[in-house]
Chains A and B, each alone.
Chain A
Amino acid sequence: MSARYGMVIDLDRCTGCGSCMVACGAENNVPALPQATARTGLTPMLVRRVSNGLDGNLRREAFIPILCMQCEHETPCVHVCPQQAVEVDKATGIVMQMPQRCLGCRYCMTACPYHARYFNWWDPAWPAGMEKSLNPGVASRMRGVVEKCNLCHGRLHGAQEKAAAAGKREVDLADYVPACVEACPTGAIRFGNLADQNDPVAQEIHSRNTFRLLEKIGTEPKIYYKSNQAWVRKMAEPIGESGSPVRATENSQRISEVQHV
């Protein structure tokens, strides 16, 4: 039986500490290039700060970790890629990005409604000697290719090898935990197989107050969010005229402004 890996992120538990971002960067050998900016840097996991737009004692903030949403249906990046460098893995449901095939046209970045794809503007580089601290399970990406969250495919390969060595066909989820999930100090990010109805994460996606970003556009993301706060849940809705799909992740300031238009 093929798996459908996904997450439920409990936003009420997210304190915006950024552990997931740093752990993701370290796991995936993201270079710390001094010339990179908010527009040109690589942040496969990005925690956004949003507010309810009110002032004084009524103001509240929340933090939304944004990563590749692993769209299951009509995956926009897969459709536009002229190189077949993106595909939805039938065995896992993970939207895989293959830098070897990517020619760097960036159509997929434009097509992604979640702004979860990043372009390598420069060759990866680290301060002298720091390459010794790189994760040997993940190759560094070259200049000129697009990358995004692959749900820590290096860890998945390790778990697959372990399962194969034990003569099993399916991966044990105790062996496959993405870096951001492992790093979250409050257990806000939960990972599981959505195709397995016995998996607690698969059950949680049906619970009250669980939602997905831009659900109306029908891409069936496998990253779910959860919050008991109505104003946070409202963030997931498309903004703009008649439900047009506007990026919910554009920036926190914009979201908080538009929220109260």
Chain B
Amino acid sequence: MKFSRRDLLVWGAGAAAGLAVTPVPWKLLDDTAKWSQNWGWIPQPARGPVEVKQSACTLCPNGCGVRVRMAGGWPVGVAGVATHPVTHGALCPLAFGAHQLNWHPERLKVVRHRGAVASWEDARSVFAKACGSGRVVVIDGYPGRAASQVLSNFAEKHGEYRVVRGAETRALAPFEEWTGVPAAALGYDLENARTVVSFGAPLLDGWGAPGRFTRLWAEKAAGQDDPQLRVIQIEPSLSRTATNAYQWISIRPGTESALASGIARVLLEEKLVTARGPMPELTLEYAASQTELKTDAIRELARTIAAQGPVVAIARDENPAVAALNVVLGAIGNRGGIVRRSSSATSQLIADASIGAARVVVLDSSVPWNFEPATDAEVFRFAAWNGGPTKSDWLLPAPGFLEELTDVPSAPTSGVETYGIAPALTKALHKTQSCAEFLASFDSSLDSAEKIVHGRCTELFRARRGTIQSHDAVAVAKIESEQKAEEQLTSGAVWIGEPASGGSIRCALKQWPAADASSPLELSGSWPAAVMPALATKLYQESGLRESGRNA
């Protein structure tokens, strides 16, 4: 039998039609799709048992409670802790990508000396030599921790300890002079305030602990015509806080002090407040000409402010006139105002660009990357991430996110005293050392940060005051042993002190402060880490929602 070309075509068509009614081609398509998704270069998530651990975020001084999902020993997700007494389950947007930070391309992996790769031994020998021949200045950006205690103890013996304060603490600095209470012991009783006057403070955009003010605003003000909590935002441009405020007052940039003086003058002249304070020397007309507002508008603003008390005024940074406005408003030491949260905090020497003669300057990893001391001394900077060009001689890799045990004192703006512990949840990816470990290794008489944390837990237990908040709040007096208290704190519980007692503050402001305060340092905002999580950078870039950080 002859097999013609026609037969071949018929056979081929028949075979194709026959195959099409079998599951073979569809199965092949399905398998090809699955196979192509498992190519070797497609990254696969970590395998291993999944568990959830509770800790605190240590990337900024607010110490928000975090719930960390771990798989195979690695953090794979971060969420807030709903029972946290300050943050109430909220986190800043960057914290949701913080678990990826340890693998950030800008992670510092090795010691660098003026850009060249060096070793820990090199750094140690240079430090030991320099340390023996002159004064050492140790600078801390997150005071109050056990690690800060190590830094301070070392500096006491070998030189000087200084702190770099964030804008939120600097805003409270004028009260330090007028009341004698350290700024680190003061906070805002926002929960009881009914009007908050913000002079440029980004209250709804990263100011303080993220869950605190935004939650209060959402519950008491958002979308309401006559809100329980009035937020009055005084700011030149329309910010996130301004657009959501009860009232937005746009003024000429840099005239916040003049407006605060003008408001205080109206409050005192029209007897709108019961508190007494010094009368500003500036006239209302001068305030109006400076701010480009009308005098009537300032009068109306002062009446609106006084209409619903308690009132507190919050400055973006150090501003004595805004601080003095609080004195006129009677906000010092009163409910809904500025309160003393702690009796143990002490005043500290402030680090500014000029630090005097020194042989060595040591910068802790908590110091913002853009803080550069003007000095001829050998500068040792500890950092987990490289934030770009720096004048520091030595860059020393510090532990990254959740790689070391640290304690978490009260957030800078908190009205109550809190204490928590952030345990090391993940192993270190590189050969790192914290500043406290490094300094303690040169002086065997210094206690380690871990030992100080243990001592603080013992102190809290013996004082028998406050409560420990985990799923439930338990009074410290009812906890059986100090081991139990420490165990709870190490598993993510938070100690909360007694409610703020304002009566202990006496304010001695006799004269309205001079308009020009010393210009504060221009430091980065509420995110002090040198880089942002890569995911946040990507999403911000692609959405145009915010400016994104460098190198992330």
Flag whether B100 is at the interface (Cβ < 8 A): yes
Flag whether B539 is at the interface (Cβ < 8 A): yes
Q: How far is the CB of A181 from chain B (nearest CB, A)?
A: 11
Which residues of chain A come closer than 8 Å to B131, judged between CB atoms? none
Measured in the bound complex, the distance between the Cα atoms of B542 and A25 in whole Å is: 12
Q: How far is the CB of B342 from chain A (nearest CB, A)?
A: 26
Give chain B interface residues in 214-251, CB to chain A under 8 Å: 214-215, 217-218, 222-225, 238, 240-241, 243-244, 248, 250
A100, B542: Cβ atoms under 8 Å? no
Which of A16, A38, A134, A140 has a CB less than 8 Å from the CB of B46?
A: A134
Which of B39, B71, B215, B535 has a CB less than 8 Å from the CB of A186?
A: B215
Chain A positions 42 through 69: 1 when the CB is less than 8 Å from some CB of chain B, otherwise 0: 0100111100000011011111000000
Q: How many residues of A contact B (CB 8 A)?
A: 66
Which residues of chain B come closer than 8 Å to A128, judged between CB atoms? 103
Measured in the bound complex, the distance between the Cα atoms of B75 and A64 in whole Å is: 30
Contact status of A134 and B34, CB under 8 A, knowing A15-B244, A183-B96: no
A132, B223: Cβ atoms under 8 Å? no
A17, B92: Cβ atoms under 8 Å? yes
Chain A residue at smallest Cβ distance from B533 = A22
Which residues of chain B come closer than 8 Å to A30, judged between CB atoms? 535, 538-539
Flag whether A27 is at the interface (Cβ < 8 A): yes
Which residues of chain A come closer than 8 Å to B429, judged between CB atoms? 129
B535, A135: Cβ atoms under 8 Å? no
Interface of A is mostly: loop
Most buried by A among B72, B241, B535: B535
Flag whether A175 is at the interface (Cβ < 8 A): no
Chain A residue at smallest Cβ distance from B540 = A18
Q: How far is the CB of A219 from chain B (nearest CB, A)?
A: 24
Measured in the bound complex, the distance between the Cα atoms of B346 and A230 in whole Å is: 51
A13, B535: Cβ atoms under 8 Å? no
Which of B91, B99, B205, B543 has a CB less than 8 Å from the CB of A133?
A: B99
Flag whether A196 is at the interface (Cβ < 8 A): no
Which of A41, A61, A141 has a CB less than 8 Å from the CB of B542?
A: A41
Flag whether B105 is at the interface (Cβ < 8 A): yes
Which residues of chain A come closer than 8 Å to B241, judged between CB atoms? 15
Q: How far is the CB of A148 from chain B (nearest CB, A)?
A: 15
A123, B96: Cβ atoms under 8 Å? no
A62, B243: Cβ atoms under 8 Å? yes
- Categorize the interface residue count of chain B: 35 or more
Which residues of chain B come closer than 8 Å to A123, judged between CB atoms? 39, 41-42
Flag whether A131 is at the interface (Cβ < 8 A): yes
Which residues of chain A come closer than 8 Å to B47, judged between CB atoms? 136
Which residues of chain A come closer than 8 Å to B90, judged between CB atoms? 19, 185-186
Chain A residue at smallest Cβ distance from B103 = A130
Which residues of chain B come closer than 8 Å to A131, judged between CB atoms? 43-46
Flag whether B77 is at the interface (Cβ < 8 A): yes
B96, A23: Cβ atoms under 8 Å? yes
Which residues of chain B come closer than 8 Å to A17, judged between CB atoms? 92-93, 204-206, 210, 214, 240
Give chain A interface residues in 213-251, CB to chain B under 8 Å: 227-229
Give chain B interface residues in 163-177, CB to chain A under 8 Å: none
Q: How far is the CB of B137 from chain A (nearest CB, A)?
A: 35
Flag whether B94 is at the interface (Cβ < 8 A): yes
Which of A26, A32, A33, A101 has a CB less than 8 Å from the CB of B99?
A: A26
B interface, CB within 8 angstroms of A: 30, 33-34, 36-37, 39, 41-48, 50, 69, 71-72, 74-80, 89-94, 96-97, 99-100, 102-105, 204-206, 210-211, 214-215, 217-218, 222-225, 238, 240-241, 243-244, 248, 250, 429, 533-546
Q: List 24 A-B contacts (CB under 8 A).
A: A12-B223, A15-B244, A19-B96, A21-B543, A22-B539, A23-B79, A26-B78, A38-B544, A56-B250, A61-B243, A63-B545, A124-B43, A126-B43, A127-B105, A127-B534, A129-B429, A133-B99, A133-B103, A135-B77, A136-B46, A140-B45, A183-B93, A228-B223, A229-B223
Excluding A19-B96, A32-B535, A133-B99, 11 further A-B contacts by CB distance (< 8 Å) are A10-B223, A13-B223, A15-B204, A15-B214, A17-B206, A22-B94, A22-B539, A25-B539, A26-B77, A48-B543, A136-B50
Considering the complex of A and B, which 8 residue pairs feature the smallest CB-CB distances, nearest first?
A12-B223, A185-B90, A186-B218, A131-B43, A130-B103, A134-B45, A41-B542, A32-B538
